[in-house]
Amino acid sequence: MSDLSSLGERKIIELIYSLLDKPPITPIMFGDDVSAIPLHGGRLAVLKTDMLVGSIDVPPGMSLYQAARKAAIMNISDFAAKGVRPLVLLVSLGLPRSFTKKDVEALAEGLNRGAREHGAYVIGGDTSEAPDLIIACMLYGVARSLIPRSGARPGDILAVTGYFGNAAAGLKLILEGLDAPSGLKKTLIDSVYLPKARLAEGLALVQSRAATSSIDSSDGLAVSLHELRKMSKTGFTVNFLPLAEEAKKFAALYGFDARELALYGGEEYELIVTIRPDRWLNALEAVHRVGGSLIQIGVVTKETSICLVEGEKLIDIHYRGWEHFKSSNASK
Amino acid sequence: MSDLSSLGERKIIELIYSLLDKPPITPIMFGDDVSAIPLHGGRLAVLKTDMLVGSIDVPPGMSLYQAARKAAIMNISDFAAKGVRPLVLLVSLGLPRSFTKKDVEALAEGLNRGAREHGAYVIGGDTSEAPDLIIACMLYGVARSLIPRSGARPGDILAVTGYFGNAAAGLKLILEGLDAPSGLKKTLIDSVYLPKARLAEGLALVQSRAATSSIDSSDGLAVSLHELRKMSKTGFTVNFLPLAEEAKKFAALYGFDARELALYGGEEYELIVTIRPDRWLNALEAVHRVGGSLIQIGVVTKETSICLVEGEKLIDIHYRGWEHFKSSNASK
């Protein structure tokens, strides 16, 4: 009998999936960022649930308002990766009996804020007593199409919507009680407490019809590339590591490896996408039009390895990052 | 500052609601059994989330398979009350690290079973580590119309889909270590461990176009009548208390008040509906056709009180039953 920490979150999900009856039509593979079923008129009903657990997912110093907003953002980021506009959010809220009225107000305001920032409304839910703060959000939207994890083809351009490493640096700063000049510190900490979902970018990408696959990077750049690879059955050569300036400065301050922060950090909500080369300019223009960035970082390969090119060296990008049950809580 | 146990679950939900931005169109009131938004073609997207928490909602002796099945049933029962067919279920699963692979398998099988019993499929979700078992289900369906809590009119017939008291008796039996003849004991305990959702009845009722309001009775017959009253702004006179034979026998065995079990027990999943008198026979026929029962228990009144007629006496039915934060866990 193997226990959960040796299985890890992904094997647990595979185990559950193997025991479920399968619906007749599945517009998107199980294990993608969202679930979907066909609606009348060729549309898709798109659904997502993701849960925030106080003792696991809320770092020290994060307010309840920020935690609730983040719970909404976690779900919206998955919709963003598929290019689907979220319409409504429901929430199952588990509250310790010791919480105050003010705590509940902060949670309601955070949820409302996370949804409204992206045009969605909180329309229902449930509250229960629980031994820990639980915020299980459910997101719903309707789409004509969506960008799966499985569509990358060799020759496609690999791109991201922003630079990586700030959330990992911010988390290190918080958990290890480190310091940094105030402007830098604020940017790093904000990236942990106030993450952004790249919804405008995702919607622009689906409209540009240029993206062949997409995933959000909440489990880290490295893990997300591996997950994309697994579903697309391709590999990636990364020529340019999209390392955030602030993370670089922070790493220099303490002698950390900035690459580690960018690749293996997690809790970042950038999109990682593959783009048809003949539509690269369409994608770029669409994302720029909404005020976003699209940064070319590599290319999709037939070989299923994932390498980082550094000068004349090829460095393997490992499957390593945050994983529930496997990782220790203190590291998050 | 008032804490959660003095507020209680319903006031907490009202507080949260008061802080949310409201969507432009709401086909069903906040606080009804489900949430909904309009889809193209006059249909409604119907959504529900409800969460089961191990230490609060799982009585001793209930297996993980049964707990997971119950988590699905809790949500499906709310769809049943609205007459909406559930299509898909998603789940956010919180698992203590001490759980085994076998535990996860039991949960997957219970969820699958609860959904498949009612024609729905489990199509996605998320797992997290958590200090307690958390099963937050999300249910989705599409409907042309639904039966709200708010439509009861004076003169309508008050009816239920089954008899009450067995779940409360079963819970008493389990929690207080009582005994009963084996056949009786099994029926009572099964009503706790293997609750049924009245989906076929709810779908038949919406098709009969006879029901004016409906609610499920998971918070108990008394509380559910009060909630129906609140949204419909009517009262009820109950002429016949639908007391289950088994609960009656159990109460006689130990000298309990059987009425208490039926009115104030909770964790039962019968539907409580109001029916237009001129369509009573249509409703009855529709429910019988699917093998269900529809038992007339009273009438909707203009006066907003809720009374039970016993011989020449009128007894007030109080707002009393299970409520998160207010009730003690041991009583459930």
pLDDT score at B40: 85
List the single residue in A with minimal CA-CA distance to B132: A131
The single residue listed with the structure tokens 């955030």 is: A244
According to the model, what pLDDT value does residue B329 have?
43
* Chain B interface test: which of A1, A2, A11, A12 (most B C-beta within 10 Å): A12
pLDDT band at B189 (very low <50, low <70, confident <90, very high): very high
**Which of the four pLDDT bands, split at 50, 70 and 90, describes residue B5?**
confident
**Residue B69's pLDDT band (boundaries 50, 70, 90)?**
very high
Q: With CB atoms and an 8 Å threshold, state whether B15 touches A105.
A: yes
Whether B20 and chain A come into contact, CB under 8 Å, resolves to: yes
Query: CA A83 to CA A205: how far, in whole Å?
Result: 7
What pLDDT does residue B2 have? 54
- The pTM for the full model equals 0.95
Q: Do the bridges between strand A121-129 and strand A88-95 make them parallel or antiparallel, or are there none, so unpaired?
A: parallel
| Contact call for residues B109 and A7 (beta carbons, < 8 A) | no
Rounded Cα distance between B232 and B213, Å, is 8
Closest chain B residue by Cα to residue A91: B49
Q: Look at chain A and count its residues.
A: 332
Average pLDDT over residues B25-41: 92
Whether A257 and chain B come into contact, CB under 8 Å, resolves to no
- How far, in Å, CA of A234 to CA of A230, rounded? 7
**Do residues B81 and B147 lie in contact, with contact meaning Cβ atoms separated by under 8 Å?**
yes
Q: Which residues of A48-82 are buried (b: 16+ CB within 10 A; e: fewer)?
A: bbbbbbbebbbbeebebbbbbbbbbbbbbbbbbbb
SS3 B313: strand
User: pLDDT confidence of A267, banded at 50, 70, 90?
Assistant: confident
State the ipTM, two decimals: 0.94
**CA–CA distance, B94 with B325 (Å, rounded to integer):** 21
- Residue that is written with structure tokens 């299970």 in the block: B322
In chain A, residues with a C-beta closer than 8 Å to the C-beta of B134 are: 51, 53, 94, 130, 134, 136
Chain A residue closest to B49 (CA)? A125
Q: Which residues pair with A49 in a beta bridge?
A: A138
* A16: nearest CA partner in chain B: B108
With an 8 Å Cβ cutoff, are B325 and A129 in contact? yes
Indicate the pLDDT class of residue B127, thresholds 50, 70 and 90.
very high
